[in-house]
Structure 1
Amino acid sequence: MTENVEYSLRLPAGVDRVRAALTDPAQLRVWFAEHAEVELPDTYRFWGRNTIDGADGADGPAQRLLAADDTTLRFTWTIEGTETTVDIALEAEDDDTTVLSLTQDGFPGWGVVASGGGGTIGLIGTYWALALANLADHVAGREVGPLPDFATTDLRAEYLVDASPERVFTALTDPAQFARWFNFPVELELEVGGRWAMGGFDNNPDPARIVELEPNRRMSIDFGSGVGTSTWELEGSGGKTKLVFSNSGFDTADMPWAGWLGWLSGFAELRRLVELDAWTPLWIEAGAEVPEGV
């Protein structure tokens, strides 16, 4: 049985600005896809190394446009031979704010994905979380964070954050702040050997372990077989912080893409949290209930 991926977020731009970002090929290539071809009302297509199951666009379009107007976009997207449907709707709150709602069917479910299943189509949940977070930065005129690269096995992303290493480290390790930007709870013991439990200790019988810790500089978390070790490195200069995030020790034949995309989508919101004086969450509807046995 499948279900829908559903997201709703508040974007800091008017409807016309958001629609242009969604339908202008040059803008799509900034925040979304390596390649994009749009000729409304007939063609809406994207592919390349930044797209799920899209490294080779020569085999023909994986997307088929169904409808498009000033506030809606609807297309099919075939992933691993399965045709799914994506619906995007825009609603103006005022001249400078737009609520975007997105659904895509065919999702195997958050519980399946959290347990390591779901295949390629199971990536659409965290894929859209990252894409929409990057869209929010793009329409706000902010630098867009790293896009996913499905053509590599080197999982490394770098951010320049306009905040001190101490501020960034606190956002990464304080459970209350972590839940604000990641939109999911965590419990942890901030020491080498300490537990790191996504969903909390009660929901995670086999938590990750902190294996390296240099406050305000570096932390590594071992998530175990199949997922590997995640490392955050912080380097401050001129009041800003270079944040390097990497994953290592995983099986390259079974890449941990779902988790990687989830982390990158979270870091986009972390940057907003520590950089914006009047931060408010992007997400109106996002994330998932904690599956049993996360």
Structure 2
Amino acid sequence: MSRIDSINREFTLNAPIERVWAAISDPAQVANWFGSKAEFQLQVGSEGWFEWPPEICEGRYAMRVEQVDAPVYFAWRWMAEQDVPFDEKQSTLVEWWLQTSENGTLLKLKESGFLTLKQQQMNVQGWQQELAELEAFVLS
């Protein structure tokens, strides 16, 4: 089965790299902007989940931590379907790169490995909203 193109985003947050790192890698902080709950350990191979409230897309989305290089790189895979067990072959890879910049922290996000165009299009819209929420959370 062939894979669909990736989603790539890049922008600068007016916050120190340590603040942005914590926001994307600490489950308690992730739950403030990405869904409503998150559970995982910040170690390679840790499986966990992200959860959204019923009015958005009720259910849990299984995930697995792939790589951690604090505070500059974090990667995890997650499922496109809710309430199904983690399956690497059916997951997408989300990668975060952080770099200190003159104006704060340069953040680069890439999600790759989509199996369908519909899945990718849904996540394009989802990342627009979630990244706006990340920015608001980091700057609060």
TM-score in terms of structure 2 length: 0.74
Identity of aligned residues (%): 27
Secondary structure of 1:232's counterpart equals strand
Q: Please state if 1:198 is matched with 2:50.
A: yes
Aligned partner of 1:173 among 21, 25, 31:
25
2:82 corresponding residue in structure 1 = none
Once the two structures are overlaid, the 10-residue window that deviates more, 251-260 or 178-187, is 251-260
Aligned amino acid, residue 126 of structure 2: G
Q: Following superposition of structure 1 onto structure 2, how do residues 26-41 of structure 1 map, counting pairs within 5 Å?
A: none
Q: Following superposition of structure 1 onto structure 2, how do residues 32-51 of structure 1 map, counting pairs within 5 Å?
A: none
Q: Please state if 1:217 is matched with 2:69.
A: no
1:246 corresponding residue in structure 2 = 110
Q: Following superposition of structure 1 onto structure 2, how do residues 66-215 of structure 1 map, counting pairs within 5 Å?
A: 153-199=5-51, 204=60, 207-215=62-70
For residues 242-279 of structure 1, what are the alpha-carbon distances to aligned partners after superposition, in whole Å with 9 as ceiling and x for unaligned? 1111111222555433234223311112112222xxx3
Aligned partner of 1:258 among 77, 97, 122:
122
Larger Rg: 1
Q: Please state if 1:273 is matched with 2:137.
A: yes
For residues 114-133 of structure 1, what are the alpha-carbon distances to aligned partners after superposition, in whole Å with 9 as ceiling and x for unaligned? xxxxxxxxxxxxxxxxxxxx
User: In the TM superposition, what is the alpha-carbon distance from 1:226 to its structure 2 partner?
Assistant: 4.2
Aligned amino acid, residue 70 of structure 2: P
Secondary structure of 2:33's counterpart equals helix
Aligned amino acid, residue 63 of structure 2: A
Aligned amino acid, residue 198 of structure 1: F
Aligned amino acid, residue 237 of structure 1: S
Aligned amino acid, residue 68 of structure 2: L
User: In the TM superposition, what is the alpha-carbon distance from 1:158 to its structure 2 partner?
Assistant: 0.7
Q: What runs of 5+ residues in structure 2 fail to find an aligned partner?
A: 53-58, 79-87
2:83 corresponding residue in structure 1 = none
CA distance in 2, matches of 1:154, 1:225: 16
Provide the aligned C-alpha RMSD in A.
Answer: 2.5
Q: Following superposition of structure 1 onto structure 2, how do residues 6-25 of structure 1 map, counting pairs within 5 Å?
A: none
CA 1:253–1:177 in structure 2 vs 1: closer, same or farther (change >3 Å)? closer
CA 1:183–1:252 in structure 2 vs 1: closer, same or farther (change >3 Å)? closer
**How many matched pairs?**
122
Contact 1:155 1:247 (8 Å CA) reproduced: yes
CA 1:164–1:192 in structure 2 vs 1: closer, same or farther (change >3 Å)? same
TM-score in terms of structure 1 length: 0.37
Contact 2:7 2:120 (8 Å CA) reproduced: no
